[in-house]
Amino acid sequence: MLSFIGLGLYNERSLTIQGREALADADEVFAEFYTSYLAGTTVSELETTHDIDIEVRDRAGVEQHPEPILDAAADGHAAFLTGGDPMISTTHVDLRLRAIDRGIDTRIIHGTTVQTAASSLTGLQNYRFGKATTLPFKRSHGGAGVPESVLDTINANAERGLHTIVYLDIDRENDEYMTGDHAAALLDDAGLDQVAVVIGQAGSDDPTVSGGRLATLRSQSFGDPLHLLVVPGDVHPMEEDALRTLAGIPEDAL
Q: β-pairing, 133-135 with 28-31?
A: unpaired
Handedness of CA 127, 130, 131, 136 (dihedral sign): negative
∠146-147-151 over CA atoms, to 5°? Answer: 80
> Chain centroid to CA 202: how far?
9
Find the binding residues for a second copy in span 6-65 (CB under 8 A): 6, 8-9, 11-18, 20-21
The reply to whether 221 sits near a second copy by the rule CB under 8 A is no
Q: β-pairing, 54-56 with 28-31?
A: parallel
Q: Which stretch binds a second copy (CB under 8 A): 113-121, 138-146, 176-184, 191-199?
A: 113-121
Our CB check for a second copy shows the closer of 39 and 218 to be 39
145 burial type by CB count under 10 A (0-12 exposed, 13-18 middle, 19+ buried): middle
Q: C-alpha distances in angstroms, 206 versus 12, 53, 249?
A: 16, 29, 19
Q: Which stretch binds a second copy (CB under 8 A): 25-33, 51-59, 65-73, 94-102?
A: 94-102
CB of 178 to a second copy, least distance (A): 16
Name residue 106's beta-bridge partners.
Answer: 2
The correct pick among 1, 38, 154, 162 for binding a second copy (CB under 8 A) is 162
The reply to whether 234 sits near a second copy by the rule CB under 8 A is no
Amino acid (1-letter code) at residue 28: E
Q: Which stretch binds a second copy (CB under 8 A): 70-78, 104-112, 140-148, 183-191?
A: 104-112
Q: Which residues bind a second copy (CB under 8 A)?
A: 6, 8-9, 11-18, 20-21, 85-88, 90, 93-94, 96-97, 100-101, 107-108, 110-113, 115-117, 119-121, 123, 125-134, 156, 160, 162, 167, 202-203, 205-206, 238, 241-242, 245-246
